[in-house]
Copies of this chain bind each other. A is one copy, B any other.
Amino acid sequence: MNAPLKVLLVGANGTLGSAVRTALRERGHEVVTASRKDADVYVDITDPESIRAMYDAVGPVDAVASAAGSVPWRPLSELSTADVREGLEGKAVSQVELVRQGAPRLPAHASFTLVTGILAREPLLTGSVASLANGAVEAFVRAAAIELPGRQRVNAVSPTVFTESLDAYGDAFAGFDPVPVARAANAYVKSVEGHRTGEVFRVE
């Protein structure tokens, strides 16, 4: 077994975040949770200043794992400019900030694991902002990987719909094969413990 790592988990309370926390702890890692509520550290990832305060409070960690980011779901015909900006801020700028601010603070071996989703490659009605934000983050991960200092790494986990979430989405994902959220959590373990960088781990 690899040496235990200290992992900062951002967005620890959702379906995915909870599963990632469980998976990392089962692997023996120390998990520090960050969220808007019920976490070790407060963070609002849509506020770069809040991300700075989070990093200040937590200090050095071996890995940052993000399971956070929300976007508006709305038909294209009802979408406003504000919706587009809100989605980019909520899932793309926010996760870029985790990397941008984390890179100079964290040790040379640190890794970042961001979250995207299948909307980056397969569209759904009302999901155009989700696609926009996910596509942004996946391309950013490939680019940031070649510029991070030391041996720092960055990957994205890009899952399809979770078996556990299927009811909440109604028929939106009709015909998609759902995956247990534990499989997505396992991809975080692969990213955190592994040695790969600049990759999108599809879980589908």
Output the least CB separation between A173 and chain B (Å).
14
Given the known inter-chain contacts A76-B100, A104-B77, please indicate yes or no for A132 contacting B142, CB distance below 8 A. Answer: no
Among B125, B137, B146, the residue within 8 A (CB) of A146 is B125
| Nearest-neighbor residue (CB-CB) of A96 within chain B | B84
A135, B134: Cα distance in complex, Å: 8
Give a binary string over A133-165; 1 marks a CB under 8 Å from any B CB, 0 the rest: 111111110111111110000000000000000
Of A28-36, A60-68, A116-124, A174-182, the one touching chain B? A116-124
CA distance A84 to B139 in the complex (A): 13
Residues of B within 8 A of A125 (CB): 146-147
10 A-B residue pairs with Cβ-Cβ distance under 8 Å, sorted by A, are A75-B147, A76-B100, A77-B149, A88-B93, A92-B136, A96-B132, A120-B135, A121-B139, A122-B142, A128-B144
CB distance from A92 to the nearest CB of B (A): 7
Binary interface profile of A, 72-111, with partner B (CB < 8 Å = 1, else 0)?
Answer: 0001110101001100100011001101100110000000
The distance in angstroms between the C-alpha atoms of A96 and B140, with both chains bound, is 19
A137 to B77, CA, bound (A): 17
Chain A residues engaging chain B, CB cutoff 8 angstroms: 48, 75-77, 79, 81, 84-85, 88, 92-93, 96-97, 99-100, 103-104, 119-128, 130-140, 142-149, 198
Residues of B close to A100: CB separation below 8 A: 76, 79, 81, 84
Q: A93-B81, A93-B88, A198-B123 are in contact. Are A139 and B131 (CB under 8 A)?
A: yes
A85 nearest CB neighbor, chain B only: B93
Give the one of A81, A96, A149 with max B CB within 10 A.
A96
Q: Give the CA-CA distance A131 to B84 in the complex, in Å.
A: 18
- How far apart are the CA atoms of A106 and B144 in the complex, in Å? 38
